[in-house]
Structure 1
Amino acid sequence: MTSDDIEIRHLTKRYRGGAYDRPALQDIDLEIPHRRFVSLIGPSGCGKSTLLRVMAGLTVPDHGRVSLFGRTPREMCRRKAIGLVPQTPALLPWLNVRQNIALPTLVNRRRGTSHESTDDLLRAVGLEDSAHRYPHQLSGGMSQRVAIARALGLRPDVLLMDEPFSALDEFTREALRMQLLELWQRRATTVVFVTHSVHEAVVLSDRIVVMSARPGRIHDVLDVDLPRPREREVVSDSRTHEVEGRVRASLRSAWSSGINPTELVAP
């Protein structure tokens, strides 16, 4: 690995409070190559979101270190180099689509942070005709597209996505997967993507990280040897099903260490 990559070493995190003491992550070692799309998959409560929050600089680990392209998460936050897309879009209800997307740019303009124009972002996520709508006027898929565009606005070096499509119906989810792939293939930003869907992880990713049950550990790391760019045909490609089989086999192996595969959803 080089300073252009993400490197996580011996990362441990516990949540404590009074008599409450719960392990979340234990001795995580992980390498994420620069400009790759990497998915984290595992059962609920295995620490996927906690790991994402540590990488985002929102949670401090008890032990270990995280290096994002040779910098700490805190340094990357100061540089506005991390984009975060949560499970729920968290749009400001009093701002319209254009204003929600433009907000990070407006806040950071005086600092000279490099950014994309709001018009470019609206076009990128197909919301040019909805620029003046407010959050209550948007569907779930449209709201999530606003959140993605907002996260991309400052041209982050790494985009962290925490199950951004989990609340959507499968038709909308499939459309957004393809749109996300198109955006990523144009920008080649490093993406770390949390999901419970084996199919989603395979269609999107260069690499899939299988995590074991609490406390979260790295059980397996699988490379996805499907060609890019990936079009809609990849969904039904026999090679995709073969890779899904490898991932499910890894999950079954992890199950013997405590994972319950019924917690992992099918597409």
Structure 2
Amino acid sequence: MSETLVVGKGLGRDFRDGNAGLVTVLTNVDCEIVSGARIALVGPSGSGKSTLLHILGGLDKPTTGTVEWPGLGSFEELRPRWIGFVFQTPSLFPALTAVQNVELPLILGGKAPADNATAMSLLGSFGLGDVADKLPEELSGGQAQRVAMARALAIGPKLILADEPTGQLDSVTAQLFFDVILKRLEGTDVALVIATHDEAVAARMATRWTMDHGRLVRGRHRNEAA
């Protein structure tokens, strides 16, 4: 039976813009993420996808509405233990090598590795074994993003939120990247939510959420009629 991990009710988010005044990014969004979910969050740029992910991941607070994590424990336990977050642009620590970046959530989560076997295995699955000892500045944008995904997977989270993780990859590499993620999560209850403009990626997810001008206008399962 699926476990409810995150519930958002009436979520709204406003930002102050010096020139435009108050800008509304999210409006009255209701959503729920359950264990094992595979959700593609789609919509045009500026529709609120990133803001919604940040709120669901506890990185931002809604202006209105509430977000709760019934299946993930307290707010303080969310990251890095239960939520793995992959940002739109690579967010690696510049002073750490690729393998050290992947190991970091294990250390922060109190699971300091005796060796780097877990991190090396993850890097290898993304075709990055030969760059394990390189610093982020020595990696391409696509390599850095794959390291970031490996880092998100390292500690075994219950939920992965990924914001345009294939945005810096060509279409073939993006599909291979996605193959690795789905294979890693196969047979697990880990929920995956990916904000994406890549229709090929979105089509492989069981559920599609569509954002339009800050509103979640449709949440549809792949097997439902359009």
TM-score using structure 2 length? 0.85
Cα drift, residue 146 of structure 1: 0.8
Cα drift, residue 28 of structure 1: 0.5
Q: Is the 8 A contact 2:208 2:221 kept in 1?
A: yes
For 2:90 and 2:74, the matched residues in 1 are separated by 22
- SS in structure 2 at match of 1:164: coil
Cα drift, residue 109 of structure 1: 2.6
Q: What's the counterpart of residue 62 of structure 2?
A: 61
Counterparts in 2 of 1:187 and 1:133: CA distance versus 1, 3 Å: farther
Structure 1 residue runs of 5 or longer lacking an equivalent are 227-242, 247-267
For 1:4 and 1:34, the matched residues in 2 are separated by 6
Give the root-mean-square deviation of aligned CA atoms.
Answer: 2.8
AA in 2 matched with 1:220 = R
Q: What's the counterpart of residue 264 of structure 1?
A: none
Counterparts in 2 of 1:119 and 1:30: CA distance versus 1, 3 Å: same
Query: 1:222 is matched with which residue: 211, 215, 220?
Result: 220
Cα drift, residue 2 of structure 1: 7.1
Does residue 37 in structure 1 map to residue 35 in structure 2? Answer: no
For 1:15 and 1:30, the matched residues in 2 are separated by 21
Which stretch of the first structure deviates more once superposed, 133-142 or 61-70? Answer: 133-142
* Structure with greater Cα Rg: 1
Counterparts in 2 of 1:155 and 1:26: CA distance versus 1, 3 Å: same
Q: Is the 8 A contact 1:55 1:73 kept in 2?
A: no
For 2:223 and 2:148, the matched residues in 1 are separated by 29
Counterparts in 2 of 1:44 and 1:65: CA distance versus 1, 3 Å: same
Q: What's the counterpart of residue 93 of structure 1?
A: 94
For 2:94 and 2:27, the matched residues in 1 are separated by 38
Cα drift, residue 54 of structure 1: 0.4
Which stretch of the first structure deviates more once superposed, 30-39 or 89-98? Answer: 89-98
Q: Is the 8 A contact 2:80 2:105 kept in 1?
A: no
Q: What's the counterpart of residue 174 of structure 2?
A: 173
Structure 2 residue runs of 5 or longer lacking an equivalent are none
- SS in structure 2 at match of 1:109: coil
Cα drift, residue 35 of structure 1: 1.2
- SS in structure 2 at match of 1:155: coil
Cα drift, residue 121 of structure 1: 2.4
Cα drift, residue 201 of structure 1: 0.5
Within 5 Å, give how 1:199-218 maps onto structure 2. 199-203=200-204, 205-213=205-213, 216-218=214-216
Q: Percent sequence identity over matched residues?
A: 34
For 1:158 and 1:94, the matched residues in 2 are separated by 27
Structure 1 residues 189-221: Cα deviation after superposition (integer angstroms, max 9, x where no partner): 111110112222012x110001112xx111111
Q: Is the 8 A contact 2:35 2:158 kept in 1?
A: no
AA in 1 matched with 2:221 = D
Q: What's the counterpart of residue 22 of structure 2?
A: 21
Q: Which has the higher helix share?
A: 1
Within 5 Å, give how 1:219-258 maps onto structure 2. 219-225=217-223, 246=226
For 1:170 and 1:79, the matched residues in 2 are separated by 30
For 1:111 and 1:136, the matched residues in 2 are separated by 25
- SS in structure 2 at match of 1:53: helix
Does residue 8 in structure 1 map to residue 8 in structure 2? Answer: yes
Q: Is the 8 A contact 2:81 2:105 kept in 1?
A: no
Q: What's the counterpart of residue 148 of structure 2?
A: 147
AA in 2 matched with 1:45 = G
Structure 1 residues 99-139: Cα deviation after superposition (integer angstroms, max 9, x where no partner): 11112222333799xxx832332343333333222323333
Q: Is the 8 A contact 1:6 1:68 kept in 2?
A: yes
Q: What's the counterpart of residue 46 of structure 1?
A: 47
For 1:185 and 1:224, the matched residues in 2 are separated by 18
Find runs of 4+ consecutive structure 1 residues off by over 6 angstroms: none
Structure 1 residues 6-43: Cα deviation after superposition (integer angstroms, max 9, x where no partner): 32111111112566200111111112221111111111
Q: Is the 8 A contact 1:86 1:164 kept in 2?
A: yes
For 1:181 and 1:63, the matched residues in 2 are separated by 34
For 1:79 and 1:52, the matched residues in 2 are separated by 15
